[in-house]
Chains A and B, each alone.
Chain A
Amino acid sequence: MGLILSEDQLILRDMAKSFCDEKSPVERMRALRDTRDETGFTRELWKEMGELGWIGILLPEDVGGADMGYAELGIVLEQCGRVLAPEPFVSTVLLGGNAILLGGSEPLQKDLLPDVCSGDRILALAFQEQGRFAPYAVETRATRDGAGFRLRGEKQFVLDGHVADQIVTVARTAGQAGERDGLSLFVVDATTKGVAIQRTQMVDGRNAARIRLDDANVDSERVLGEIDGGADLLDPVFDRATIGLCAEMLGSFEEAFERTLEYLKTREQFGVKIGTFQALRHRAAHMFGELEFARSIVRDALSSIDDGRDDVAECASSAKARCSDVAALIGGEAVQMHGGIGMTDEEEIGLFFKRLKAAEFTLGDATYHRDRYASLRGY
């Protein structure tokens, strides 16, 4: 993809849009939240997305994938973002799926990925151990034990970890927390003895998990990438996942912005539409600019992966730094410009606000990514 969508991509977009509007209006997400739904998303819908080829959109055909690119995945994610669909793209496709795709042996891929594509298998990536995103701050240990490894430690904010069948777990086989070297990745079956999973309900209505690993055993066939060299796998996985997440965020920006704009054009105070107030007009115009800039950066980042460019990492950080800032801007302005009604649970704009905050912090906030970008640029 270039910066604009091709004919085929426009068709995919329209299809994804009508699918999401029809099958997944924002009320669905609200209902899942209000009923404290055990899964947190709709399995049938996820399988339908599988049938449409969306889950395996990046994966090769021999494991049931559609063998398309990030451009296409980005289009789907953007539409999901518009309706706040909580289906497990980030956990299963972007994080877990990418880790297995980029770092798994062929037999492991053949074993695990077909059921992922169909929507029958949910994946997660367990890496985070503290509140702020810090990819190498891993204390969880993996020690050799016979033909495999024994894992011990605690993870948090494992997206969809409460329903994941396989949990790709980052553990330290050497070195100290904070060091890039010495990490390794393991595919841990959720039913393994010694794995304790606690569901955590998040502010955006989605679910994550705290996971305790109490001497959980994992076979050495289930290692992804190189032992001690896990960061070489983790980095590209995070870059890709970050860019995908930004595409989802873009959809939420668009919807939150459009709804706010509509409100400016309809709500009246002082006998006039509030959109006539210049203070609001200027802020709306500024938001529009940020939204357009985010769109350009996200499209460029998606194509940096598809085109095999060597600046994927810079693009990922550039995209997430921008999108995290825009999330705070558009989310905050959306609530503010709605006034009191924006504070009510009944008004959907608040759901966007909360999802955007969660996405802002997921995989690194703006400060983290500017810092990383500076390092990549040599200053």
Chain B
Amino acid sequence: MASIEEFKQEVRSWVDENLPAELRVGNRRDLPGEPLGRWIQALASRGWITPQWPTEYGGGGLDRKHAAALMAELRAVRAPIIGSFGTSMLGPTLLEFGTEEQKQEFLPPISRHEIKWCQGYSEPGAGSDLASLQTRAALEGDEYVITGQKIWTTGADKADWIFCLVRTDPDASKHDGISFILFPMHQPGVEVSPLRLIDGSADFSQVFFDGARAKAKHVVGPVNGGWTVAKRLLQHERSTDGGSEGGITGAMKETLVDVVKREVGLEAGALADPAIRQRLAAQEMEARALSLTMRRAGEEARAGQTTRDIGSLGKYRWANMVKNEQDIAMTALGSQGLGWEGPGFEDGQLERTRAWLSTRADSIWGGTNEVQLNVIAKRVLLIPE
């Protein structure tokens, strides 16, 4: 493999060729479709959407250091980073638990960002207490027939496939009768009904299954042994955001520091409001402490110095941090942060208002803050229950 420096050089010139200026704005929602499509194809052709996956499944075959260098280079030019439920959650889980046939079938399309996946975990009666889920899957020949309901399913209205937790043995105890299964969304017996969120978006849905079908060979891991697979996927989910990034959200039109400086103003070089100045300093320190901590945890694990998993800590602190960023922005904006739409507000201000609303979800999805604290107390601190 090329030295890190050579590799970075290679990435830089490749980026120069493949990334148009209009895309160098970070992970924004309103990116122009056609250049974005070409960028995704270019990344996929190198396997760089999933840089650490083996090349045989469409990955980049890079080791951790080269993958980190790639990401650093991409972030440095504010390139859109392409990620999905497939790349960050299902893919790593399949690499660990999938059969060879399942890997061949599902991983390459994920690595090309072709198939959209959604996560069918939560149900109306099974949120934090996920293992109490009731959606049934009954074997009929070489297919499972699925009946029940999921809720809060992000992206269900746009998804091609779902990875879903279903009860395959209703008589077994709570954790023992669950299977992890994959099936297509576009089929009779699947009905999607979007839900509107407090930020005005409708990213997630209720999903109703009434005789939907899944191939028996698409059960990942053992039948009735899906809980282990499900938990491992949750670890990946928690580490995606809590872990790797940890920084002040990069995708806003303006950085938090700029917003606060503009709205609050400087007097003799210092923010005019000393209280908000303290909060901003604390926020920057927190962002750095989080990313250092997750980096250290990774280094310690690789050096064999620890076996404990602090992914839950990362998720919990990350959620608080991103929420706090918007809280500070809102305080700085005052009534200019209270606009919903229409004239009287700048785009950057409206964007902050919506971000303040949408980030409330970050301490709920993927396990609420309270659940993460439960996990830390039990699994990391080993306090008996």
Which residues of A are interface residues toward B (Cβ below 8 A)? Answer: 2-5, 261, 264-265, 273, 275-276, 278, 281-282, 284-286, 288-289, 292-293, 295-297, 299-300, 318, 321-322, 367, 370-371, 373-375, 377-379
Contact = CB atoms under 8 A, between A and B. Distances in A.
B266 to A, nearest CB: 7
A38 B37 CA distance: 76
The listed residue with most B CB atoms (<10 A of its CB), out of A264, A293, A375, A377, is: A293
B317 A374 contact: no
Interface of B: 257, 260-261, 266, 269-271, 274, 277-278, 280-282, 284-286, 288-290, 292-293, 295-296, 299-300, 303, 305, 310, 313, 316-317, 370, 372-374, 376-378, 380-381, 383-385
A238 to B, nearest CB: 18
B278 A370 contact: yes
Contact of B296 (A4, A273, A373): A4
10 contacts: A261-B383, A281-B378, A281-B381, A282-B374, A285-B372, A288-B380, A292-B310, A297-B292, A300-B292, A379-B270
Given A288-B380, A292-B313, A379 B290 contact: no
Contact of B377 (A284, A292, A321): A284
A281 B277 contact: no
B296 A296 contact: yes
Contact of A285 (B257, B266, B282, B381): B381
A248 B73 CA distance: 37
A281 B316 contact: no
Nearest to B284: A377
Among B260, B292, B372, B380, find the residue whose CB has the most chain A CB atoms closer than 10 A: B292
A374 B278 contact: yes
A4 B303 contact: yes
Chief secondary structure at chain B's binding surface: helix
Contacts of B285: 297, 318, 321-322, 370, 373
A373 to B, nearest CB: 5
Nearest to A4: B299
A2 B300 CA distance: 11
Contacts of B269: 375, 378-379
Given A281-B373, A289-B376, A265 B310 contact: no
Contacts of A292: 293, 310, 313
B295 A3 contact: yes
A3 B260 contact: no
A292 B290 CA distance: 9
B385 A377 contact: no
A242 B305 CA distance: 28
Which of B274, B299, B372, B377 has the most A CB atoms < 10 Å from its CB? B377
Nearest to A318: B285
B281 A373 contact: yes
Nearest to B370: A282
Contact of B373 (A265, A282, A299): A282
Contacts of B370: 282
A352 to B, nearest CB: 19
Nearest to B383: A275
A379 B260 contact: yes
Contacts of B385: 276
Given A289-B316, A379-B260, A379-B271, A3 B373 contact: no
A375 B293 CA distance: 25
Given A3-B295, A296-B289, A299-B296, A288 B376 contact: yes
Given A4-B303, A296-B296, A378-B269, A281 B278 contact: no
Contacts of B292: 3, 296-297, 299-300
B383 A374 contact: no
A231 B322 CA distance: 38
A377 B71 CA distance: 26
A265 B289 contact: no
Contacts of B289: 293, 296-297, 318, 322
A285 B305 contact: no
Contacts of B281: 321, 370-371, 373-374, 377
Q: What 3 pairs between A and B have smallest CB-CB spacing?
A: A281-B377, A285-B376, A3-B296
B242 to A, nearest CB: 11
Contacts of A3: 292, 295-296, 299
B373 A285 contact: yes
A205 to B, nearest CB: 30
Contacts of A4: 296, 299-300, 303, 305
B281 to A, nearest CB: 4
A155 to B, nearest CB: 29
A367 B300 CA distance: 32
Nearest to B380: A288
B286 to A, nearest CB: 8
Contacts of B313: 285, 288-289, 292
Contacts of A2: 299
A285 B300 CA distance: 20
A26 B240 CA distance: 42
Nearest to A287: B381
Contacts of B381: 261, 281, 284-285, 288
Nearest to B274: A371
Nearest to A292: B293
Contacts of A293: 286, 289-290, 293, 317
A377 to B, nearest CB: 7
B282 A370 contact: yes
A103 B284 CA distance: 32
A3 B292 CA distance: 8
Contact of B317 (A275, A276, A289): A289
A264 B383 CA distance: 8
